């Protein structure tokens, strides 16, 4: 392992290993912490296992998914590594929301590459997630360059955008309750206006509904959305994704789940389907 990586914590789990790793990230100009689960198959000499990159939602860190989603038992069986980055750059030199709000700044990087000051130096989470982090993981752990991406809420937006902007980079993509049309909802408007500036035409490059119009790859999209989600109508608007996918002829499985909310209880209920969705594509 490279000298600039520090193991913050390590735990045995379902015959594999869960690690939290700290490193200096050039793209976001600060220290970052990510979690990686290595299944038992990764311990076989010469093995390199495929990876699912999980992008979490607002206020989360690398820890939420690994501890709450209940994903590691099946990941161990499938021989699938999982990597979970933080949701934003952090530290005393990293600007957050000037009013201390929870939906912007620290914990709310929105997986874009900011162009506006004072955020442009640090808030380059797209570049970090798509390029720097996989390079670090693939150079230091027994994993391959076979990648899938998935996420929740803000991270669901991130997963869709990462896949749609980078054809050929991922074998599959899926999301729980994603922000599918951030250019047209309050969370996205707040974040994009500050990270990307007032010109809404530039926002389209970070909006899944807009990106579907120009997509050159047809990775099937798997999306689960709880019908009891308190953010459903105002922030998430899955029907906009359905409309955009139908217009573009893009394959989409959108499953509306009665009674389920925005929490990790929802994610834990359906995570196995998303792991199998990724594993099937990674094995192909």
From the candidates 122, 262, 274, 277, give the one annotated as an active-site residue. 262
The reply to whether 153 belongs to the active site is: yes
From the candidates 56, 88, 148, 153, give the one annotated as an active-site residue. 153
From the candidates 229, 250, 274, 277, give the one annotated as an active-site residue. 229
Which H, E and C letters describe the chain, residue by residue?
CCCCEEEEEEEEECCEEEEEEEEEECCCCEEEEEEEEECHHHHCCCCCEEEEEEECCCCCCCHHHHHHCCCHHHHHHHCCEEEEECCCCCCCCCCCCCCCCCCCECCECCCCECCCCCCCCCCEHHHHHHHHHHHHHHHHCCEEEEEEEEEECHHHHHHHHHHHHCCCCCCCEEEECCCCCHHHCHHHHHHHHHHCCCCHHHHHHHCHHHHHHHCCCCCCEEEEEECCCCCHHHHHCHHHHHHHHHHHCCCEEEEEECCCCCCHHHHHHHHHHHHHHHHHHHHC
The reply to whether 18 belongs to the active site is: no
The reply to whether 229 belongs to the active site is: yes
What are the residue numbers of the active site? 153, 229, 262
């Amino acid at each position: 392992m490279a000298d600039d990586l520090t193991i913050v914590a390590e735990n045995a789990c379902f015959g594999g290993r869960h690690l939290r790793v700290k490193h200096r990230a050039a793209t976001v100009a600060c220290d970052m912490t990510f979690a990686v689960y290595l299944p038992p198959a990764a311990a076989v000499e010469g093995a390199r296992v495929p990876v699912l990159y999980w992008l979490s939602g607002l206020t989360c860190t690398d820890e939420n998914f690994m501890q709450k989603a209940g994903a590691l038992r099946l990941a161990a069986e499938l021989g699938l590594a999982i990597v979970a980055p933080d949701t934003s750059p952090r530290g005393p030199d990293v600007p957050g929301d000037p009013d201390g709000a929870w939906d912007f700044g620290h914990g709310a990087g929105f997986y874009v590459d900011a162009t506006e000051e004072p955020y442009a130096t640090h808030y380059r989470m797209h570049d970090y997630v798509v390029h720097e982090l996989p390079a670090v993981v693939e150079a230091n752990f027994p994993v391959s360059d076979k990648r899938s991406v998935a996420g929740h809420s803000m991270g669901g937006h991130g997963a869709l955008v990462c896949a749609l902007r980078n054809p050929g980079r991922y074998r599959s993509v899926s999301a729980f309750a994603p922000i599918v049309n951030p250019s047209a909802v309050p969370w996205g408007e707040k974040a994009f206006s500050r990270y990307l500036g007032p010109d809404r035409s530039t926002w389209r490059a970070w909006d899944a509904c807009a990106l579907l119009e120009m997509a050159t790859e047809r990775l099937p999209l798997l999306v689960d959305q709880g019908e009891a989600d308190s953010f459903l109508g105002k922030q998430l608007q899955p029907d906009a994704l359905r409309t955009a996918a139908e217009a573009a002829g893009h394959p989409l499985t959108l499953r509306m789940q009665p009674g389920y909310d925005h929490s990790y209880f929802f994610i834990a209920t359906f995570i196995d389907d998303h792991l199998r969705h990724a594993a099937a594509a990674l094995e192909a």
